[in-house]
Amino acid sequence: MHPIKAQISKQALSLGFDTVGFCHPSAITKAGRDLYEFLARGHHGDMFWLSENVDRRSDPGVLWPKARSAIVVGHNYAPEENPLPRLEQKSIGNISCYAQNKDYHDVMKKKLRQLAREIATTHNCDVKLFVDTAPVMEKPLAQAAGIGWQGKHTCLVSREFGSWLFIGSIFTTLELPADTNETDHCGTCTKCIDICPTNAFTAPRELDARRCISYLTIEHKGQIPLEFRKSIGNRIYGCDDCLAVCPWNKFAQTASETAYHPRESLKSPLLKDLVKLDDTAFRQIFSGSPVKRIGRDRFVRNVLVAIGNSGDSSLIDNLQPLLHDTSPLVAEMAAWALGELSGNA
């Protein structure tokens, strides 16, 4: 391996990252074209930020013309247990694995800043770092850097870590030889497409976010459309189905980063407790968690969908106070949930 790349890789691994790759920022031209098509179809829904700065997002050379190399890192967050069985426990709220403890943006940024400082100081170069917070298409970059490939569920898949990798990148003016682009190893498998509860995949590697449960429970600010409520089940923040079913996960090891290990209080939280949260209690429980960013109202909206799907008429008493909640999102969904459970009373 190139000596500077070897040095950087060693530094990254010593900071706790699990995999490192190198590519040229311009290596994602096809992904840029796919992005324009995705936006033209309206598949981004309310995520209007995706259409902002689209020229920068589709071409890192526009984002930062001085960049000569991209250093891409992966951080393993594989759960200890398969999350799918929790979907059968109708009395609990199912929170996506990645959000059951610390926000990965904060965890990775701290490590990336340290790595970037070391690179800049050692090699007298300029650097910029990104963790899903700027117009950077990190999954195509990770594939170009040899870390993994974009599976049919549109997420990154690694032969070593399965579907459980967070991605970050450092752009630098340092010129480094690129690694070999990772090839597709999905084969004929379509498990991720077949398991989707809302049929959000229009084709392999084509996602209509407007139908995706992760989008509906996290990004969507309005009321969740009636046609998707039953399919959401007890998923109250995100959805892991297409990730969890990937056969490549058999090679994944449980995350070594303790910040990604689930808090006991968030592994199997009871719906009857979550639905009582006011804004203060919500902020306290989800302090430092990605869940906090959607706010109490959208979160309780999601909990009410799960309650409506629970079939548990004992939860009706928890709904009555929310029928007059100051948030229309909450009040309207409480009425829907009450209607669903009244038939089971």
pLDDT at 31: 64
Which is it for the CA torsion 316, 319, 323, 328, positive or negative? negative
In sequence order, the β-bridge partners of residue 128 are: 171
Query: Is 250 a domain residue?
Result: no
Give all strands (DSSP E) within the chain, no chain letters.
19-23, 69-76, 94-95, 127-130, 149-150, 156-157, 165-172, 201-203, 206-207, 235-237
Query: Is 147 a domain residue?
Result: yes
| Domain end point (choices 155, 172, 189) | 172
Query: Is 108 a domain residue?
Result: yes
Contact 241, 194 (CB under 8 A): no
What is the DSSP secondary-structure string of 235-258? EEE---HHHHT-GGGGG------G
Calpha distance 108→250 (Å, rounded): 25
pLDDT digits (tens, 9 = 90+) for 217-265: 999 999 999 999 999 999 999 999 999 999 999 999 999 999 999 999 9
Calpha distance 134→327 (Å, rounded): 31
Decide: helix, strand or coil at residue 155. coil
Structure-token match 């590519």, residue found: 23
pLDDT digits (tens, 9 = 90+) for 91-149: 999 999 999 999 999 999 999 999 999 999 999 999 999 998 777 789 999 999 999 99
Residue 62 has pLDDT above 80, yes or no: no
Query: Is 240 a domain residue?
Result: no
Share of the chain above pLDDT 90, in %: 85
pLDDT digits (tens, 9 = 90+) for 294-323: 999 999 999 999 999 999 999 999 999 999
303 shares a domain with 154: no
Residue 334 has pLDDT above 90, yes or no: yes
Q: Rounded to the nearest 10 degrees, what angle do helices 104-123 and 3-14 cross at?
A: 140
List the CATH number of the domain containing 21.
3.40.109
The closest alpha carbon to 202, from 154, 143, 164, belongs to: 154
Active-site residue (options: 46, 132, 273, 312)? 132
Calpha distance 248→17 (Å, rounded): 20
135 shares a domain with 29: yes
* Domain count along the chain: 2
Query: Is 163 a domain residue?
Result: yes
pTM of the predicted protein model: 0.93
Query: Domain range spanning residue 299?
Result: 270-345
| Domain end point (choices 119, 139, 172) | 172
| Domain end point (choices 119, 150, 172) | 172
The closest alpha carbon to 305, from 259, 345, 337, 270, belongs to: 337
Residue 345 has pLDDT above 60, yes or no: no
Query: Is 157 a domain residue?
Result: yes
Which is it for the CA torsion 74, 79, 83, 89, positive or negative? negative
pLDDT at 41: 75
List the CATH number of the domain containing 332.
1.25.10.10
pLDDT digits (tens, 9 = 90+) for 160-187: 999 999 999 999 999 999 999 999 999 9
132 is catalytic: yes
In sequence order, the β-bridge partners of residue 76 are: 165
Query: Is 280 a domain residue?
Result: yes
